[in-house]
Structure 1
């Protein structure tokens, strides 16, 4: 499986964990979420995403926003960053 899609699966799992948490656990999950985001996405994108993820988890009732998946979509669909992926040409 491609590294890009492994990140998507992890993103969906982390978003599900964030949505399933209740208020006391949000205080624990928020910094973990921010840290995981900075580890998954390097550079300025990872730093900004880590802060956004932390704030989204710490603010009550904002857990429904799938931050990890949105960042994945931004990086791989909108910006189309996929340096590890080979281009496959299929002749028809």
Structure 2
């Protein structure tokens, strides 16, 4: 079953390697998340309030992605940020 994450908000894609920031307003499933993040598995982290981030789940350990910081959180490689519209829909 492919999940429809688009109902929860608009995605912000940040890629430090390509020096790119992009607003994504489309349905993203798990395969699309991994493709954009250039990884085989993702981790999710709460960034505070209604913001969640998806990033390369193994990038830090394998040192295959650029390390950078977002909102005082260490990140590796590309990251997809989503703002959850309603508190009851937070993951």
Using structure 1 for the length normalisation, give the TM-score: 0.26
Structure number with the higher strand fraction is 2
Using structure 2 for the length normalisation, give the TM-score: 0.27
Structure number with the higher helix fraction is 1
Larger Rg: 1
